[in-house]
């Protein structure tokens, strides 16, 4: 009779675990997509990225020459990047389209043509 009791106990344990798994508890949300971007006079590398609408993103911006910035006026995003200190720009795009970011800290004669393109797909 002990083996029958053991089998019932195992079965009840399995049912309880399955019940918890199916109870609608949602898993932790996905971590944001982290994208490293190197910034230097007068370029971003990569110069463009593609992300999905609604996808949490963190841009990790680094520079080794002078201070720079990245501003997307249409998306109300702006980050400053100091030499030798990584800067994180976290966002979740809520609209699809192509957006051009510009360096927001004057960094020399090529500053005006320094752009970064963000493609947001559905």
**28 touches 52 (CB < 8 A):** no
Q: Which tops the pLDDT comparison, 109 or 9? A: 109
Q: Mind listing the pLDDT tens digit for each residue in 16-25?
A: 454 444 444 4
Question: What does the pLDDT read at residue 10?
Answer: 54
101: tokens are 């970011």
Question: What does the pLDDT read at residue 2?
Answer: 60
Nearest-angstrom CA–CA distance, 64 and 70: 15
Domain boundaries along the sequence of the chain: 33-121
Lowest mean pLDDT among 2-11, 79-88, 108-117: 2-11
Q: What's the CATH fold of domain 33-121?
A: Immunoglobulin-like (2.60.40)
Question: What does the pLDDT read at residue 8?
Answer: 57
Q: Mind listing the pLDDT tens digit for each residue in 26-39?
A: 445 679 999 999 99
The alpha carbon of residue 45 and the mean position of all alpha carbons in its chain are separated, in whole angstroms, by: 16
Q: Mind listing the pLDDT tens digit for each residue in 39-94?
A: 999 999 999 999 999 999 999 999 999 999 999 999 999 999 999 999 999 999 99
Question: What does the pLDDT read at residue 30?
Answer: 75
Partnered with residue 60 across adjacent β-strands are 36, 88
Nearest-angstrom CA–CA distance, 104 and 89: 14
Question: What does the pLDDT read at residue 88?
Answer: 97
Give me the torsion for CA of 91, 93, 97, 100, rounded to 10°: -10
């Amino acid at each position: 009779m002990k083996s029958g009791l053991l089998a019932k106990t195992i079965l009840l344990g399995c049912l309880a675990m399955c019940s918890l798994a199916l109870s609608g508890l949602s898993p932790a949300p996905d971590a944001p997509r982290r994208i490293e971007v190197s910034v230097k006079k007068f370029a971003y590398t990569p110069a463009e990225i593609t992300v999905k609408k609604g996808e949490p993103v963190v841009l990790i911006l680094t520079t080794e020459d002078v201070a720079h910035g990245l501003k997307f006026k249409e998306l109300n995003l702006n980050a400053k990047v100091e030499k030798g200190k990584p800067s994180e720009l976290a966002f979740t795009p809520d609209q699809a389209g192509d957006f051009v970011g510009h360096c927001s800290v004057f960094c020399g004669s090529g500053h005006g043509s320094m752009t970064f393109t963000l493609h947001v797909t559905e």
